[in-house]
């Protein structure tokens, strides 16, 4: 049947099972929005306050549900406002399809009003960027975009459609996209055998889990693999929830703000098994000293990750779920009781701790965990509060911590929370934010109110840019350049002005009461939590240092005596 380009866009979204899109309209994309209006009972549109919020919401929706997130924007500044959100998804391998519309084909390349080469702009931060100048190619391009976003290592794809293409007609025939199977069929059996041999030869193995294990849906296979290997487990920020944070084998996060148990254990192990992690500099510290006593076995779907940041001894390329399944079939039960006891001793000797009796970020996160019984989706912004959310909430399931790991995007969390709650309406969704980050995209609180999305915004308010100040305090002789935010902004009044409920907590008891009330309210709530400006994230590894040199507040006091 003959349909115009805008109708083809909507029909293709319906083909892909899209039930929600996030966006902001404008002149160039009006034809698509007009068609979207006609299908509003089939595809829900969330009108965000800013296009960046739409991109983050699509990202949060994708992370929470495992589906492809979709965002829409018009040409020019509408399209460029998506860029930070697209880059965030790219760095964390999140499947998002961003659809923009541009000026008509005859006006391209002529500096027309609100024209930008958004396909060119986003080329380095997408898996693929399309511009569709022929309506006859539109349907196939959209289908291809969704396949690319999901296949192999996931990531964002951009489709730019000139306005006249959305008006022209073409023959459209519905297609069934089928079920995409992520698992590689061509896993090298020799690589699997070599990996199994390395594990059996090891006396002190350690397993390091990254976000790839979550994207693969490999939690069940991972747990079996850990138990067969009889090894302790650490994770990256992106890997949280792939392996249960309540399991006795779990040692906490690895790296700059990882636990001493994890950092010391990885520094002493004789085999490091890396499952879907990319050796971020925030994990490795000084690469010359990282896991220096260990052979390194890396499992990843992307061959480009092999030997990229750290030289490895053996790699297995393939979907993590499929690789672990194969390893579990051939690996005999291992026994490393002595090694496991040593790591357990580290856990007992070096627990995470914070100042008691006063309101702090760690207390807030632990109280959220207690009141939700760990059954919640946590989104975060970027900074101290992000690290506390990673350290003090015990993630037992995948897709329950949504955070910007690779790009470190301030302003990510609130949009992501809206996307997550939209995709998982039965889940409690809390965004843990810093006051500096909340300022970035606080306008999305109005989005939550407008669409009745009951997210809870917890602002850890220290009136400074906390993580930057921490570095200034420790490494810049307390020169607090441009990091003090002491002004007259009242976040409680701001929340109320946007139609949300606002509360303030200055003590532990006040936060307990406020959060309990927020959980019961069923509407968007902001809690402004006042903490000390000099609270820090511990432990810490200095930039460029070895992770074995992790230090905490007590170590610093003893050093300065």
pLDDT of residue 400: 98
Sheet (strand 96-102) strand order:
44-47, 20-24, 69-73, 96-102, 157-162, 128-131
Domains in the chain, start-ordered, CATH in brackets? Answer: 2-171 (3.40.50.970), 189-349 (3.40.50.1220), 361-537 (3.40.50.970)
Q: What is the pLDDT of residues 343-382, one digit of tens each?
A: 999 999 999 999 999 999 999 999 999 999 999 999 999 9
Cβ-based burial of 55 (10 A; exposed 0-12, middle 13-18, buried ≥19): buried
pLDDT for position 529 = 98
Cβ–Cβ under 8 Å, residues 503 and 518: yes
Cβ-based burial of 506 (10 A; exposed 0-12, middle 13-18, buried ≥19): middle
In a 13 Å sphere around the CA of 183, the CA atoms on its Cβ side amount to 10
Cα 92 to Cα 132, 219, 231, 368, 488, distances in angstroms? 27, 18, 27, 25, 36
As annotated, the active-site residues are 51, 113-114, 163, 467
Angle between helices 337-349 and 260-268 (to 10 degrees): 150
Measured distance CA(219)–CA(213) in Å, rounded: 7
What's the confidence (pLDDT) of residue 561? Answer: 79
10-residue stretch averages of pLDDT, the chain, 561 residues long: 97 98 98 98 98 98 98 98 98 98 97 97 98 98 98 97 98 89 80 98 98 98 98 98 98 98 98 97 97 98 96 97 97 98 98 96 98 98 98 98 98 98 98 98 98 98 97 96 94 98 98 98 98 98 96 92 79
pLDDT digits (tens, 9 = 90+) for 161-197: 999 999 999 999 999 987 777 666 689 999 999 999 9
Strand partners of residue 295: 271
The residues, any chain, with a CB within 8 Å of residue 242's CB and separated by 6 or more, are 209, 211, 213, 214, 218, 219, 222, 235, 275, 276, 398
């Amino acid at each position: 049947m003959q349909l115009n380009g805008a109708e083809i866009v909507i029909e293709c979204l319906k083909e892909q099972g899209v039930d929600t899109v996030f966006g902001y309209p404008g002149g160039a994309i009006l034809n698509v929005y007009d068609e979207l209006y006609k299908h509003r009972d089939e595809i829900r549109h969330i009108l965000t306050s800013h296009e960046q919020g739409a991109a983050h919401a699509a990202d949060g929706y994708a992370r929470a549900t495992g589906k492809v997130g979709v965002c829409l924007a018009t040409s020019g500044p509408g399209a460029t406002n998506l860029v930070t959100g697209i880059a965030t998804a790219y760095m964390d391998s999140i499947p998002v399809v961003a659809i923009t519309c541009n000026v008509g084909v005859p006006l391209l390349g002529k500096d027309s009003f609100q024209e930008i080469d958004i396909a060119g702009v986003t080329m380095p931060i997408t898996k693929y960027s399309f511009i569709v100048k022929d309506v006859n190619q539109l349907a196939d391009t959209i289908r291809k975009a969704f396949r690319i976003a999901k296949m192999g290592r996931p990531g964002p794809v951009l489709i730019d459609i000139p306005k006249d293409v959305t008006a022209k007609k073409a023959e459209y025939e519905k297609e069934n996209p089928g079920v995409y199977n992520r698992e590689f069929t061509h896993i090298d059996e020799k690589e699997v055998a070599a990996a199994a041999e390395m594990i059996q030869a090891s006396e002190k193995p350690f397993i390091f889990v990254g976000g790839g294990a979550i994207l693969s849906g490999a939690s069940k296979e991972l747990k079996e693999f850990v138990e067969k290997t009889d090894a302790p487990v650490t994770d990256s920020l992106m890997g949280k929830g792939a392996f249960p944070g309540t399991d006795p084998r779990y040692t906490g996060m690895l790296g700059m703000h990882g636990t001493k148990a994890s950092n010391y254990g990885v520094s002493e192990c004789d085999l490091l098994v890396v499952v879907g992690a990319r050796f971020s500099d925030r994990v490795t510290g000084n690469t010359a000293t990282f896991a220096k006593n260990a052979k390194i076995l890396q499992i990843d779907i992307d061959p480009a990750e092999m030997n990229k940041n750290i030289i490895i001894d053996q790699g297995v390329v393939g979907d993590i779920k499929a690789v672990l399944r194969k390893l579990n079939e051939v690996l005999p039960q291992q026994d490393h009781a002595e090694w496991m006891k040593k790591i357990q001793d580290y856990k007992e000797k070096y627990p995470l701790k914070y100042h008691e009796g006063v309101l702090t970020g760690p207390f807030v996160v632990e109280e959220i965990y207690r009141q939700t019984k760990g059954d919640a989706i946590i989104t975060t912004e970027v900074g101290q509060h992000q690290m506390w959310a990673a350290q003090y909430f015990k993630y037992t399931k995948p897709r329950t911590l949504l955070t910007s790991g690779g790009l470190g995007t301030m302003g990510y969390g609130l949009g992501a929370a809206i996307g997550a709650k939209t995709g998982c309406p039965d889940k409690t969704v809390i965004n843990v934010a810093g006051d500096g980050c909340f300022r970035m995209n606080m306008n999305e609180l109005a989005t939550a109110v407008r669409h009745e999305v009951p997210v809870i915004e917890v602002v850890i308010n220290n009136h400074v840019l906390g993580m930057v100040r921490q570095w200034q305090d420790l490494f810049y002789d307390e020169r607090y350049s441009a990091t003090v935010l002491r002004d007259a902004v009242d976040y409680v009044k701001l929340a109320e002005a946007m139609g949300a409920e606002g509360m303030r907590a200055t003590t532990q008891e006040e936060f307990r009461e406020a959060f309990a009330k927020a959980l019961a309210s069923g509407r968007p709530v902001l809690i402004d939590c006042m903490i000390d400006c000099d609270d820090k994230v511990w432990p810490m590894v200095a930039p460029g240092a070895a992770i074995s040199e992790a230090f905490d507040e007590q170590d610093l006091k003893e050093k300065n005596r």
